Structure 1
Amino acid sequence: MAQEQKDLYLYTSQQSAWLYVALAKEEELGAEDLLVVDIKVGELAPNPSSGHSWETVTEVDVLFSTDAVDPRPQWALMRLLLQIYSHLEVPVPRLSVLYGRAKPKVQPALRIRQDGTFKIVQISDTHMVTGVRVCKDAIDAYRENLPESKADPLTVDFIGKTLDVKKPDLVVVAPIIECLIPFAAVFGNHDSEGIHVLSRMAQMSILQNLPFSLSPAPSQLPLLTLYFLDLYGQISSKIYNPDYDYIKQSQIDCARKKEDNNNPFYLSLAFLHIPLPEFSNCDLSIRKGYKREPPEGPYFNSHFYDALAREGILALGCGHDHVNDFSFHPVPWLCYAGGSGFGGYCLYGRERIHRRMRVWELDMSTESLKTWKQVEYAADRVDELVLVERGMVVEPPAEPVKGCVVV
């Protein structure tokens, strides 16, 4: 079993504090071995006559910050904090305990609603931090519709985690899990930053074992295929600064259209964090939204966009450039989600940019696909755009480029 080492001061102090936990395999335990059946945090000893029903402790974790949450099944977050005395700016550590054996995760099912619609909410650039957060849940705008939309997936673009990557992950997905919404995640450039950060494999292991997680999960067909790709992160370059890693051939080979399933109306969408080089193509026409900053993606073009076009994938959603939220034509459509968090930059020049997220809606009754933005303080849909109607790609008239573009 791999060990995860984490300084309880999060490497911010000259002193260090460590919690060591020894795990043993059940089949290796003998009759003389003792088991830990509970953990208490506090200055007073627990009352042995409390009548508590004991269950074996099988794993212990450390999360940071007073507002930490743990939506993992059978995990209990200790109410009291660990008694270490640090500066106020250092997030305080809390223990989380797994009781009993972890039960196998039930794979969530994605289904079209009775009215023929299927909705995806793309949340990008949350920029959650390890300390106490002050923002609202990103899904508040759709909370009133949750009883009829529990089968809709929520694609989450995790970006901007600092110091302890696990706590922001769990904070973002906790309200999603609470509302019984299936979700998937793609990583961004910040998810590998820092010398103490968890590997992407370790982060994905956390995510894929959460309730309602589809990260990763194979497509079950037959109406819609969703591709989630990792564009890795920033790389050093003597040609282009900043420069980012590019889509590899192995990823292009995976993005193959599924076999024909005799369904006349079939859609495929793709999601990644960092925009492809084609987002900087001046020949493409903006149909809706704002281009406020130059798209920032990989200098090397591995022609993943061309592969998407050949496979008939209709649209690709990305994030990364917080104040861009425009949609490009032709097919595949290229659409920015826009930044959703308080942690990233939301002021460009003198213009205050409100938080927002992109919504995608498939309607089988009309064989259509549309998208719009849900913007902070706006009650109605913003920049709604019909991409497909009656099974045919729609080419709406081009609009003037809105917003300032710095060259």
Structure 2
Amino acid sequence: MATQDDTATMPKTAKPAAKRDDAPHDGKVMNIERADFTDLVPEGRAPVQGMDGFDPCYSDIVDYIVRCTHKIWDERDVGLIYTHYTHNIVLYLPTGTIYNREDVVRDTIQRLVSLPERRGMATHVVWNGNDKDGFYTSHLVTGSGRYSQNGHYGPANGRPFVSRTVADCMIHRNKIYREWVVSDQMAIVKQLGLDEQAYAEKLAAAKFAQGLKQLDIGETGLLMGQYPPAEHADLSIANNDLERHTLSWLHEVFNKKMFGKIREVYAPTVMYHGPLMKELYGTTSVSHQAIGLVGAFPDAAFAPQHICSTPCNEGGTKVAVRWVMEGHHLGFGGLDSLGDPTGKRVQVMGMSHYHYKDGKIVDEWTVFDELSLLVQIKLAQMADAPSASDALDK
């Protein structure tokens, strides 16, 4: 496992795998940490990296994702979706998948109707790629606003909220053709004072009415028969030593359950920014969050889907990991809304950003949606319940 300082593994000096032709991070591309919004979307900035096929207003890939997100959501130019998404876009969400551009337009409008005062502020963007092969961006957004318009949360009550969202996008020639969005909806539901159980039941009932239900397909993939978890992580998606190091310790913690590893890779003063807007400090807090998640789904397999990294203005490197956990609700953990173990199969779609400095993680941002897990459990319970016709037959 790599132990060298992260400054030696920054993308500008690393040798990525041959299958990737990442543009060098030479400091010219925008970095969000210290910049005010007006500095992030300047007018007339000359391109600082290859942007062939992109609208001329975008000078680099960070400028593209921050500016077009702001235009669509804050300036209400929803029609830009037609020029910034392919017609056959696939958008993965924790509670469902969208398969075409027109549905993305409709979904965006509905969210603007429900939360007209919401503003999404770019926290940071981690990326890789180039304008020939395509870019990949992982965009962490902190959203805030008030529930001031009747919508999908029910009657408006004017309450404020703050939540985090991460959107991972695959982009080629100005158009997003694949996207994963994890929004902490449970944080909003709790802050609005809604009945989380009733709201999840409503969402599950709507999906059940469409004929959807969760089917348990048996093993989760964590174990091969009676063998223990794999000794080593799959590092094939990594591009440099720091990313390989990240995948290795994630496998140790979440698959091999070696939670003591957290003390080795995190700084003692680490800040943890988690679901439900948790703000925690120290390695003990990070360990407790990891054990709580695994405790709820002890047979879950943790599978990273994508990883990328960029140096940041604050020093060190930020690494973004998109991951999935699949398992069964077999235990008690840190997810209070799930209640007693139900045995139901669930999938956790998550995004994590790690800030390495001097070889240790000094900040972690992790987003997954507890509401989606509750909906999955309730949907599986609905599928188990006897139908009205069955009851009549009896």
- TM-score, structure 1 as length reference: 0.27
- Give the number of the structure whose residues are more often strand, by fraction: 2
- Give the number of the structure whose residues are more often helix, by fraction: 2
Tell me: higher relative CO, structure 1 or 2? Use CA pairs within 8 A at least 6 residues apart: 2
Select the structure of larger CA radius of gyration: 1
- TM-score, structure 2 as length reference: 0.27
